[in-house]
Amino acid sequence: MDKLYEFIILSLENKDDNYPSQDIMFNLSKNYSEFKNYPKAIKILDILIKLDEENVEYWYYLSFNHFEIKNYKHSFKCIDILKNIKEKTGYENKDIEEACYDLYDRLKKIEKKSKKGLTNNNFDDKDDEDRSDIEEESIENEKMNLD
């Protein structure tokens, strides 16, 4: 698993187009997530989203992995992006929709317990000050890795 991960990262760093298919990379990200290696899962999902920005499943899994590392604001942001894509494309998948609603409910419960809001209007507090908006980050990474 780690060798495939290293191959993907090196291929992108070297601007090599010979990286594995999106299906293989997606399955690898899900495997990392199952083994609780969320940072590697997130890295692969970031790559996949650069390749297909309107893939609802990628956004859901990215949201889930951010949730698991307690990066709740980015998890919320991914769900917002996912909802916009779903509305724009008419995407329907009952399993993903149910999982997304469940994750959203979990985030709302955390938000209620917290003194700070987690929704779109409050992305700039000190927990997230080192991270830019996910869309901007994806664009910047795309420029660096996929030129």
Burial bucket for residue 41 (CB in 10 Å: 0-12, 13-18, 19+): buried
Mean pLDDT score, 56-69: 97
| Residue matched to tokens 């999902």 | 45
Give the pLDDT of residue 48.
Answer: 94
Beta strands in 20-102 (DSSP E): none
pLDDT tens-digit readout, 92-116: 999 999 999 999 999 999 988 886 6
Task: Name residues whose C-beta falls within 8 Å of residue 1's C-beta, 6 or more positions apart in sequence.
Answer: 28, 31, 32
pLDDT tens-digit readout, 14-38: 777 777 889 999 999 999 999 999 9
Predicted model pTM: 0.74
Mean pLDDT score, 62-74: 97
Give me the domain span that covers residue 93: 2-145
Q: Count up the domains in the chain and report the number.
A: 1
**Cβ count within 10 A of residue 73:** 24
Flag whether pLDDT at 137 surpasses 70. no
CATH number at residue 54: 1.25.40.10
Tell how far CA 24 is from the center of its chain.
16
